[in-house]
Amino acid sequence: MFSSAPSSLPPTITVVHEECRGQMSLRQLAQDLRASCRSLRRAKNWLIENRHPTFADYVPDSPLSPAQAEAIITYRSYTTAGIKGDALTERMFPDVV
C-alpha cells in the first residue's frame, strides 16, 4: 500500500501563449497587416517553394517565427509595389549569385 500526505492542489501546468514566445499565427499577422489570410498564405507558400532560408526548417501548421513573418512582410511589400518574376526573386534572395 502506498501512503503519503494528501496533496490539496493538483500540479499546475503553464502554457505560454504564442505571442509570448516570439511567434505568431498567419491569421494574427494578417490582422496586424490588415491583409487577407489567403494572400499571406500565398506569400508563405512562395517562400517555402523557393526555399527561402527562413523557411528551411518550417513545420507545416506551426506558428511563424519573427524572421518568417518579416520575410512574408517583405515579399508582400515587393509584390504590392508590382515587382514580379525574376526581379522579385533577386530581391528576396539578394545573396544568391
Percent of the chain with pLDDT over 70: 75
What DSSP state is assigned to residue 64? B
Q: What is the pTM of this model?
A: 0.73
Among 48, 73, 79, CA closest to 62: 48
H helix or E strand, kind and range, residue 39: helix 37-49
- Helices 37-49 and 26-33: angle between axes, nearest 10 degrees: 120
Cβ atoms 73, 55 nearer than 8 A:
no
Contacts of 53 (CB under 8 A, 6+ apart): none
Q: Is the pLDDT of residue 16 over 50?
A: no
47 confidence band (pLDDT: 50, 70, 90): very high
